Amino acid sequence: MTIVIGVGNDFRRDDGAGPAVAEALRGRVPATLAVTDGEPARLIALWAGADLAIVVDAVRADPPEPGRVHDLGADAAELSARSVSGHALGLGDAVALGLAVGQMPGRLRVLAIEGADFGFGHGLTPRVAAAVDAVADLLTISLNTEEQPMFASAIPPAPDVSRRQGEDRAP
């Protein structure tokens, strides 16, 4: 079983990139589609037992390049060690917890889309919307064939990617 999990809040502008990808894949891929908020227990419940789980999430990066896609690959141990979130339970914790309790998918792939605007409101900024289409197209090919296209910017992944909420630290 393959599952694509869009993580994010579609009322926080570009944070809705992950859910938008899940929506764009509807009817196009032989995979379960899910949307969640990134809370680790929910993520684990979604991906446990899957052969392949693809998590699509919005991130901030420094220096920023909105719309850039980071293919964080499948090295769960590396993901768990990465400080994906600044001071909260985030994707890195979900991976660490999933590993600790043996509830990981067979393979995990994380696609992180750099966002520009995480303010209140609906709708993606243009470059992020284009990235959502690109990721959806890529996953449509990848999940319907044996091909595994990667994003150019994926190698090597930027070292300083952090999940969006991680940026919400105190002034």
By CB under 8 A, tell whether 44 contacts another protein. Answer: yes
Q: Token pair 């994380």 is at which residue?
A: 110
Interaction between residue 107 and another protein (CB under 8 A): no
Tell the residue number behind the tokens 């719309």, with chain if given.
67
27, 30, 102, 156: which one contacts another protein (CB under 8 A)? 102
My answer on whether omega of the bond before 156 falls inside 30° of 0, hence cis, is yes
Binds another protein (CB under 8 A): choice among 61, 97, 143, 158: 97
Q: Is 76 in the site for another protein (CB under 8 A)?
A: no
Beta strands in the chain (DSSP E): 2-7, 32-36, 52-60, 69-71, 107-114, 162-163
Q: Is 170 one of the binding residues for another protein (CB under 8 A)?
A: yes
Is residue 27 a contact residue for another protein (CB under 8 A)? no
Instruction: Establish if 88 lies at the interface with another protein (CB under 8 A).
Output: yes
How many other CB atoms sit within 10 Å of the CB of residue 11?
A: 11
User: Closest approach of Cβ 39 to another protein, in Å?
Assistant: 7
For position 36 contacting another protein by CB under 8 A, the verdict is yes
What sections of the chain are H helices per DSSP? 17-24, 40-47, 76-81, 91-100, 126-144
Residue 21 Cβ vs another protein, minimum distance, rounded to whole Å: 17
| Pairwise CA distance, residues 55 & 155, whole Å | 18
Instruction: State the residues that interact with another protein by CB under 8 A.
Output: 11, 36-37, 39-42, 44-45, 80, 85-89, 93, 96-97, 100-103, 165-166, 168-170
